[in-house]
Amino acid sequence: MNKITTPPTLIMIFGATGDLAKRKLFPSLYQLYLKGSLEKRFAVLGIGRREWTNEQFTQHVRDSLENSSHDQDRIDSFIEHCTYESHDVEDSSSYIKLKERADELDQSFDLDGNRIFYLAMAPEFFGTITDHLKADGLTDTEGFCRLVIEKPFGHDLPSATALNKQIRQSFSEEQIYRIDHYLGKEMVQNIEVIRFANALFEPLWNSRFISNIQVTSSEVLGVEERGRYYEKSGALRDMVQNHMLQMVALLAMEPPISLSTDEIRSEKVRVLRALRPVEGKEVDDYFVRGQYGPDENGEIKGYRENSNVDSDSNTETYVAGKVMIDNFRWAGVPFYIRTGKSMSVKSTKIVVQFKDIPMNLYYNKEHSLDPNLLVIHIQPDEGITLHLNAKKSNLGTDTDCIKLSYSASSVDGINTPEAYEKLLLDCILGDATNFTHWDEVRHSWSFVDKISEHWESTKDETFPNYPAKSMGPAKSDEMLAKDGFEWWPVGEQDLEE
């Protein structure tokens, strides 16, 4: 990332003693500092329930940076911009003290009254905090005020609507930055460039030439200590409502008339509005749910054996679905999505499968042409692979599949910015393109709620239906087989050295 100078800013992190701040926020802000995007005129005000001294907090920040950064030469100078305030989110007197501290930092670092409120806390506090920020005067400033909110934004459409209504009493839609960290990933942001900057792909990006698109996000870790949260969310709410549908929207959107925030968001909303709704028994034709059990060797425990999980839980840890977009461009093209916990590989990957050519001149009984594929590797590898057919090096006319690969990981190495680093920079700059608008949240919840209602009203008696360290239940493969397709492998190394 080239040096981008940011305006002076006070970054107030609610939940600064928590895991998210330590693993992601402090390291990302430090990287911006190292790159010169944050210079002298910035301050980080950590806010938490713990009665920490300033020294305890700065040691907490130091531990975070020493564990995450290769360049530790400027940690001391960065920490000079960090301070802490213990806080009770429900007590107005705490906000009055917070306002006094913010005003002091504004004067000390010459911040022009610019403030970012980052709520790295449990969602049940979002409304309370925003009410107090407005009522107790922290938003009364001559500079900009922006609110950053982590997911989940509600647990269904009614709760999301109520939360949005409450927050909007204190902040306008333009001031609200709803983080989906997938939108900060390098290759997710590259989807638009691959599509709209290449004459090779844009004319083919429609139902005439594409047979199906597969989006996989698999994790090798199980639920671990998140049982209490996961029992309330499940994979559908945790991954599909936000990350998976956001990637589908980027893959399916029409070319915007410009790269402005409003135009890109508008096109994504049109995709989400065009999602074919599925409800009732119809859900079983379009979606598969799974829950992992112990692995085949009995070394890894199943989901129901985790702490804070019901021993007869009906919560899904895996979702696969066929998403149809009922518009002119995508009529008849299935977007297959799958995501799960405790799977055999960690991978987020998009596979675009192009239709077969009308007649295979190179067909014989022993050999048929492989389909052309465009593979977008999002994590852990970053890059692109194009699968083509070419003649084998022999005297005949047999063909072989070749791969044209670009690996962003090997080219950029450790200089590739982390997702939170990009999103924090965007927020400081006031660029909301890679944050979700309320209309996106509303339409995605509307789609997902119908599936949730059916699953919650019908118990899946086959649970657990896939062993830990596998790629999910057999029904997922059967769903694609009915359409004449199969899941493309995501575990092998497609990016050649």
Give me the phi and psi of 40, to 5 degrees please.
-85, -30
DSSP string computed for 229-265 = HHHHHHHIIIIIIIIIHHHHHHHHPPPPSSS-HHHHH
Tell me the pLDDT of the chain (497 aa) as tens digits. Answer: 457 889 999 999 999 999 999 999 999 999 999 999 998 999 999 999 999 999 999 999 999 999 988 888 899 999 999 999 999 999 999 999 999 999 999 999 999 999 999 999 988 999 999 999 999 999 999 999 999 999 889 999 999 999 999 999 999 999 999 999 999 999 999 999 999 999 999 999 999 999 999 999 999 999 988 899 999 999 999 999 999 999 999 999 999 999 999 999 999 999 999 999 999 999 999 999 999 999 988 899 999 999 999 999 999 999 999 999 999 999 999 999 999 999 999 999 999 999 988 877 766 656 677 899 999 999 998 999 999 988 877 666 778 888 999 987 655 444 457 899 999 999 999 999 999 999 999 999 999 999 999 999 999 999 999 999 999 999 999 999 999 999 999 975 444 43
Which pLDDT score, from 0 to 100, does residue 410 have?
A: 57
Radius of gyration, alpha carbons of the chain: 24
Q: Is 443 a catalytic residue?
A: no
Of 132, 181, 243, 387, which residue is the catalytic one?
243
Distance CA 237, CA 231 (A): 11
Tokens representing 209 are 């030439």
Tokens representing 58 are 């700065």
Which pLDDT score, from 0 to 100, does residue 390 have?
A: 87
Tell me how many degrees the CA angle 85-69-18 measures, rounded to the nearest 5.
Answer: 35
Residue 263 contacts by C-beta under 8 Å, 6 or more apart in sequence?
Answer: 256, 257
Which pLDDT score, from 0 to 100, does residue 225 have?
A: 85
